[in-house]
Amino acid sequence: MKRKLNENGITLISLVVTIIVLIILAAVSISLVLGENGLIQRTQKAGENWEKAQEEEQTGLNSLQDEIDNAINAGNAGGTSLASVVSIGDYVAYSPDSVTITSETQIIKDLASYSGYTGTSYNTESQITQESLKWRVLDIVDGQVVLISEKPTSHTVYLSGANGYNNAVKLLDDLCNTLYSKSGVTTEARSLKIEDIQDKITYDYTSYVGPYQYGTTNTYTMRYYPNIFANEKRGWVDSNTEGTADLSEQTAYIDGSTRAGTSITVTQTYWNKSMVASDFKDYSTNDNMYYKLFINSGTGNYNGYWLSSRCVVAGLSSANFYVRLVDSGSVDAIYLYYSSAGTFDCNICVRPVVALSSGVQVDGTNAEGAWNIK
């Protein structure tokens, strides 16, 4: 008698066939993923193609920049790179774009709104004008020549109180940019800053003590502070974290003067010193040039001039908010506001600095020995 197959079961043959089919499917899948033109290889090729496209794009951008540089150089054919021939202290025949200052000029409006000065004798269009200045080489950085005016301006800027502290950096930088930039030649026009001087001195300003050492913190309760202080590095208000702005940095004007804080913690960032030639780098090999550029022309100290930099004094009983300056042979600062709500003011000159494009060329010197810009 024949035995019937179990209609609900799986025969050995069907099981073998199923396994073989699964093996075939697995092999096909592996081939699709790992094969010569598999998914992984195609992914790798896509990545390689993307990298190649990026390289080709960068090559194209470099080529375009070269063409631009060549076009600039072609326009200055026969010239020599300014950076390749000048030395610190050399004169350069630089002339900014001509500017006529009126009551509608933006910097005049900004001075009226943000300097803290409310009078009519200073910061006006009749008092602030573009001057015919001589220019000397202050620095040479990555092919760019940085110039400083031979001496401070005759026109002055009046800063007063908390708003003077709040907006000094941007006001002074914007003023210099308005009056002393040149389209296609300058990459920056601004006021001299404390960092420009600190970069060139051998004196360790961080060792300054009076009454607290540079970098020391002190906390005061129930005190007022200029608005920008809450944004500054090394400053805390009501135990909040410190801000992020450097003391020579300001990107927007501050509308409003002071706030009251239950507690403010300040860090001493003020230092001052009556400078001598040996306080500056290379004084013995560079004819005291940095000292001459910043402090004393060789015939006498410069008139006082602003630096577009703030600083704070951790006083014994209050925090004092200062704006930097150079005056009477000293690197110093003047207080504009006390945390006890005291207000002061100052009216002195400006010292512009301009950075020239690395493409600037010269074609010799003029009758006064200044390098002529092509």
Q: Which of the 8 DSSP states describes residue 204?
A: -
Q: Which residues pair with 314 in a beta bridge?
A: 319
CB 90 within 8 A of CB 289: no
Token pair listed for 81:
């790179």
pLDDT, tens digit (0-9, with 9 covering 90-100), for 237-273: 988 888 899 999 999 999 888 888 889 999 999 999 9
Q: Is 352 left (phi over 0), alpha (psi -120 to 50) or beta?
A: beta
Q: Please, what sign has the CA dihedral across residues 276, 282, 284, 285?
A: negative
Question: Residue 125: its pLDDT value, please?
Answer: 95
All structural domains of the chain with their residue ranges? 12-75, 81-373
Considering the chain, what is the average pLDDT of its residues?
87
Rounded average pLDDT over 175-191? 97
Question: Taking the model in full, what pTM does it have?
Answer: 0.79
Number of other CB atoms surrounding residue 72 within 10 Å = 15
Rounded average pLDDT over 1-8? 44
Alpha-carbon distance 263 to 164, whole Å?
22
Residue from 141, 143, 193 nearest 353 by CA: 193
CB 314 within 8 A of CB 131: no
Token pair listed for 365:
């010197």
pLDDT, tens digit (0-9, with 9 covering 90-100), for 21-66: 787 776 666 665 556 566 556 655 655 665 666 666 665 655 554 4
